[in-house]
Amino acid sequence: MTPTPTLSLTGLTLRVQNLERQLAFYQGLLGLEVLRQQGPQTDLAPAGGQFNLTLLHEPTAPLHPLPTLGLYHLALLLPSRAALAAIFRRLVEARYPHFQGASDHGVSEALYLADPEGNGLELYRDRPRLEWPFRGGQLAMVSEPLNLEALLAEASGSQPLDPETTLGHLHLHVRDLDEAQALYEGLGLQLMQSDYPGARFLAADGYHHHIGINLWARGRTTSSNATGLLAYQIALRGRTPQTLTDPVGAQVQVVPL
């Protein structure tokens, strides 16, 4: 990040059907701490307090089918390769069943999985900015295989998420790329990459992306009361609080940074 960032992703709200199962994952396996529980709402955060994850329990909510418009994945940024390796070893030792793969994106190394209700989750670490790939002056993220054995070798042991883990970016299934891009550009983000098939990536502060948008759900929708993404919080320097609705119906809560 830049020394004086203008944007930070600080919160995310998911509607969940089975709270006990979701807490076993986010608290028990990943190591987030429960900050408070009030009625149907449970707030969690890493020990460093860099972001909040709110679980809104609605036991009658139907599980959202995949893929559908809305969340593709939320992405948690680990502060180092060793920290990524340690949580990976924890997942391996737990034989976590919803591991989906891993990629080297040039700018980052990423693990992909889903929580027990199918919400996509990326765990990743960034490479130094001087190592990021560019092509013709434009960012050129790629998707190459990640050497998982080499990553595991970096782990001195099994550990939960590092206390300084942040909410690095969100990636969303949208209906129209131009419409979604316009919303985020209105919040001060800039288009960073647009040559990835069916997707675009936007960010502030020269980051590779704070928001990814894609057409891969092909417009498929689900019921308004289904599980999944309800809201997310973007902290922006110099902005007054406001609440917007993103192109897939989630609330965007803009707060001052």
Asked if the structure places residue 55 within a domain, the reply is: yes
Q: How many domains does the chain have?
A: 1
**Cβ neighbours of residue 143 closer than 8 Å, sequence gap 6 or more:** 103, 104, 105
Asked if the structure places residue 2 within a domain, the reply is: no
User: Which residue in 55, 50, 45, 42 sits closest to 9, CA to CA?
Assistant: 50
The pTM of the whole model exceeds 0.95: yes
Asked if the structure places residue 21 within a domain, the reply is: yes
For 235, phi then psi, to 5°, come to -90, 125
Does the pLDDT value for residue 2 go beyond 80? no
Q: What is the pLDDT of residue 40?
A: 98
Does the pLDDT value for residue 164 go beyond 90? yes
Asked if the structure places residue 36 within a domain, the reply is: yes
What string of DSSP letters covers 62-124?
PPPPSS-SEEEEEEEEESSHHHHHHHHHHHHHTT-TTEEEEEE-SSEEEEEEE-TT--EEEEE
CA angle centred on 54, ends 113 and 59, rounded to 5°: 85
Asked if the structure places residue 220 within a domain, the reply is: yes
CA-CA distances (angstroms) from residue 79 to 50, 87, 113?
12, 12, 19
Per-residue pLDDT band for 3 (boundaries 50, 70, 90) equals low
Both tokens of 92, joined, read: 């391996």
Q: Which residue range(s) make up the domain with 209?
A: 7-256
Asked if the structure places residue 73 within a domain, the reply is: yes
Q: Which CATH number is 99's domain given?
A: 3.10.180.10
Asked if the structure places residue 217 within a domain, the reply is: yes
Asked if the structure places residue 1 within a domain, the reply is: no
